[in-house]
Amino acid sequence: MKDFISQAKEFTDINSTFTLNDGNKIPCVGFGTWKIKENENGEQIIVDAINSGFRHFDSAALYKSETSIGKAIKKSGVSREKLFITTKVWKDDLCPEKARLSLKNSLQDLQTDYIDLLLIHWPKASKKDSSWQEKLAVTWNEFIKMRTEGIVRSIGVANFLPHHFAALQSDILPCINQIEFHPGYLQEEAYNYSIKHGILVEAWRPLGQGGLINNELVKVIASAHNRSVAKILLRYALERGVLPLPKTTHLERMLENQKLFDFALSEKEMSDLNNLPLCAWSGEHPDNAIPWDD
């Protein structure tokens, strides 16, 4: 398998594919769906995303976006096999029974009988969770079973730092690690570990959730290329061999976020972006600042 940076050099559009360590292929830019449920037009936003060209959708049981995605797929008329759908099992469901039930509910809401990619959403339920290692091992084992049964095509993890991987206790490596990744918060240790083990990194919050759009350095690079800041940030991820998952509710931005393949960043620009001081960080951390910790 070619390394991910070399694979990305050959991409010509958002539906060019990375090849994963299990041999499956994944479109190189995905559409994020966090907070889509809070928008009353959720279903129409996904229909627009499909009609504009997106074929890869990142969802999660937590996001409650799956019902809108399921309805939008039916409405769009695009056949299921042409789409790539990710969902995730939330941190409170890290045991075989709950993980399986979570997947069953996701399949129902998405109106489909298989998921392209299933992820463990977060490695630990809470800071105080002393049994997180056992929970990851049994859940991962169940993920492997669900993959063997064919209801899931590929399996992976999210928000994993290097020390979390050993807890899976398996020779079968995740094919994806989905982490917060953008200039100003690059998590180089998680990135380097993943790349070294042939695990593709997916970038959540690739635009810093909008927080990088007015960043002075990125604005200078954008103006030098006569491109938008969003395009620079998404292109940056691809040039690092990382798969970005931008989310937008606006059709014009959906189109903008796809035009990433007619320019390239210089070594100096990549280096400047690599060295951007901490900014636009969500404040979340896999072990120390866990969302909805109790």
Ligand X SMILES: NC(=O)c1ccc[n+]([C@@H]2O[C@H](COP(=O)([O-])OP(=O)(O)OC[C@H]3O[C@@H](n4cnc5c(N)ncnc54)[C@H](OP(=O)(O)O)[C@@H]3O)[C@@H](O)[C@H]2O)c1
| Binding site listing | 121
Q: Where are the beta strands (DSSP E) in the chain?
A: 17-19, 25-27, 31-32, 56-58, 84-89, 115-120, 152-158, 176-180, 200-204, 242-244
Q: Which is nearer to ligand X, 153 or 247 (CB)?
A: 247
Which range binds ligand X by CB under 6 A, 11-19, 74-82, 189-197, 246-254?
A: 246-254
257 counts as binding ligand X under rule CB under 6 A = yes
Q: Are 289 and 283 in contact (CB under 8 A)?
A: yes
Sites for ligand X among residues 25-84 (CB under 6 A)? 32-34, 58
Most distant CA atoms of the chain, gap in Å: 53
> Tokens 């769009």 identify what position?
76
205 counts as binding ligand X under rule CB under 6 A = yes
What's the min distance (Å) between Cβ of 1 and ligand X?
24
Please report, in range form, the residues annotated as the binding site for substrate. Answer: 121
258 counts as binding ligand X under rule CB under 6 A = no
Q: How far is CA 56 from the centre of its chain?
A: 10
185 counts as binding ligand X under rule CB under 6 A = no
Q: Which is nearer to ligand X, 148 or 288 (CB)?
A: 288
Classify residue 40 by its DSSP letter. T
Q: Is 115 exposed, middle or buried (0-12, 13-18, 19+ CB in 10 A)?
A: buried
Residue 236 annotated to the active site: no
Q: Which two tokens stand for residue 266?
A: 């210089």
276 counts as binding ligand X under rule CB under 6 A = no
**Single residue of 106, 139, 248, 258 touching ligand X by CB under 6 A:** 248
Q: Which residues are catalytic?
A: 63
Binding site for ligand X (CB under 6 A): 32-34, 58, 121, 158-159, 178, 204-210, 213, 228, 230, 245-250, 253, 256-257
